[in-house]
Structure 1
Amino acid sequence: MNASAKNIPYQLRMNSSGFTLIELMVTIAVLAIIVSIAAPNISTQLANQRVKSTTATLANALKEAKVESILRRQPLTLSFDNTKKTIKIDHMVLGVVKTNIASYKYDAKSTIKPNATSTKFSPNKTANATVYSICDSNNAATPLKVTVSAIAAISVKSEGTCT
C-alpha cells in the first residue's frame, strides 16, 4: 500500500509536473490588471490618512494651548510654519516669544491654510475665532476643517476646499 510517485506511470508523472509558461503569463497579467486598478485608490487613501493625521496633530495642539493657557493663567499663541512643517505653542509678550511651551511636527505633504496667522488663547477661556483648512499635495484627498470659536471651542469637520 505504498502510494509513492514511483507507482504512477512515467507518462502521467511528466504531464502533471508543473505550470506552463502560458499559465504563468496569464496569472501575472491578471495580477497586473488588479494592481493597476487598486493603485489610485491606495494613493488616495494614503493622502486622506495624511490629512487626518495632520488634523489630529493640529487639534491636539489647539486643545493643549487652550488648557495650558488656563493652567498657567497666561495668554498663549499657537502658530505654525508650512515650510518647516511645525506647530508651536508660545507664551508671547508684546509680540516676542518669551517661552516656547510645545512644538509639533506634521506630515511634509500636508498643508495648513488658516484665515489668520495665529490663534491666541486667553486664560478667561476665550480665543481668536480661527478656521484652519488641512490639505494634501494629492488633490484627490478630502480636506478637513478645524474651527476655533471665540469661546475656544475646537471642532473638526470634513469640509473645505484646497485650491
Structure 2
Amino acid sequence: MTSSGFTLIELMVTIAVLAIIVSIAAPSISTQLANQRVKSTVSLIENALKEAKAESVIRRQDIRVIYNDSITPRTITIENPTAILNTYSINDRSTINIIPTPVSTVTFRPNRVISGDNDVVYSICDSGSSSETLGQIRVNKIANISTTYSGRCL
C-alpha cells in the first residue's frame, strides 16, 4: 500500500524548525521596528522645524514650533502670532526629550536665527525597546537644523 502525504512526525518536526527560526528572528524584527519609529519621528520633527524656518522668512514674522506633550496624541504645532499653520501628531511610542529642559517652543525669526541663547536639541527614543538607536535633532542659534543617529537611549 503506497500513500502520498506527510506523517505526523514529519509535520511536527517542520513546525518545530519553523518555531525555532521565528524565535531567533523576533528580537531582531522588534529592534528594526523600534528604529524605524525613531527615524519616522525624527523625520516628522525635522520637517516641521524646516517648514517653520521657511515660513518665518517668507512671512517675515516670528514662527513658533511648539511641542505639546500634555494632550493625546502628542503634537508639534507650527504657529504665527495670529494663527495655527500646521499640526503634526507624534507616534505614541516615541519619547522626546528637549534640551534645555524647560523649553517646549522654538521661535524662528525672519532674520534666520532662533530666539534664546542656547541651541535646542530634540532627543527621540522609542518606548517599546531599550536597545534602539537614539535620534537627535539640533537647532543652533543661527537656525541650522542637523540630524544625527548615534548612541543608545537610556
Same fold (TM over 0.5): yes
Is 1:123 matched up with 2:107?
A: no
Which of 80, 96, 101 is the aligned partner of 2:85? 101
Number of aligned residues? 145
Is 1:151 matched up with 2:142?
A: yes
Per the normalisation by structure 2, the TM-score is: 0.89
Cα distance in 2 between the residues matched to 1:160 and 1:122:
32
Which of 116, 141, 163 is the aligned partner of 2:132? 141
Q: Percent identity?
A: 51
Is 1:47 matched up with 2:38?
A: no
Partner of 1:114: helix, strand, or coil?
strand
Larger radius of gyration: 1
Q: Tell me the C-alpha RMSD between the 2 structures.
A: 1.3
Is 1:87 matched up with 2:71?
A: no
Unaligned stretches of 5+ in structure 1? Answer: 1-10, 93-97
Alignment correspondent of 1:7 = none
Q: Deviations over 1:98-143 (max 9, x none)?
A: 3111101121100111112211100001114211000110222111
Q: 1:152 to 1:34 in 2, by over 3 A?
A: same
Alignment correspondent of 2:61 = 74
Alignment correspondent of 1:110 = 94
Is 1:38 matched up with 2:28?
A: no
Per the normalisation by structure 1, the TM-score is: 0.84
Partner of 2:133: helix, strand, or coil?
coil
